[in-house]
C-alpha cells in the first residue's frame, strides 16, 4: 500500500479497488468516481532541471526589448 501523501497512479487506484472491493472501473470513469468521493485526480509534474530561478522576469525583459513592444 502507498504511504499517505504519495501520489497514486490511476492503475494503482484501479488495482486497489479490484483487490479490496472486487469492483472494476473503466479509466474514463475513474475521475468521476473519485470526485463523487470528494477526492481529486491529478498528475504530478516534475520540475524542469534547466528552468531559471526567475523565468517571469526574463520574459518581461525580453518583451520590453522586443521591437514590437516599442510600436
Question: Which pLDDT score is estimated for 71?
Answer: 59
**What is the Cα–Cα distance from 28 to 16, expressed in whole angstroms?**
17
**Given pLDDT bands bounded at 50, 70 and 90, which one contains residue 1?**
low
Mean pLDDT, the chain, rounded, equals 82
Nearest to 12 by CA among 29, 30, 28: 30
Phi, psi at 54, each rounded to 5°: -125, 60
For the record, the C-alpha cell of 1 comes out as 500500500
Question: Which pLDDT score is estimated for 19?
Answer: 93
Phi, psi at 32, each rounded to 5°: -65, -45
Residue 8, number of CB atoms within 10 A of its CB? 14
* Mean pLDDT score, 51-70: 86
* Domain segments of the chain as ranges: 1-43
pTM score? 0.50
Question: Which pLDDT score is estimated for 7?
Answer: 74
Amino acid at each position: 500500500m502507498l504511504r499517505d501523501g504519495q501520489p497514486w497512479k490511476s492503475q494503482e487506484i484501479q488495482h486497489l479497488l479490484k483487490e479490496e472491493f472486487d469492483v472494476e472501473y473503466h479509466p474514463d470513469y475513474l475521475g468521476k468516481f473519485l470526485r463523487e468521493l470528494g477526492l481529486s485526480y491529478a498528475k504530478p509534474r516534475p520540475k524542469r532541471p534547466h528552468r531559471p530561478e526567475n523565468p517571469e522576469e526574463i520574459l518581461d525583459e525580453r518583451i520590453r526589448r522586443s521591437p514590437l513592444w516599442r510600436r
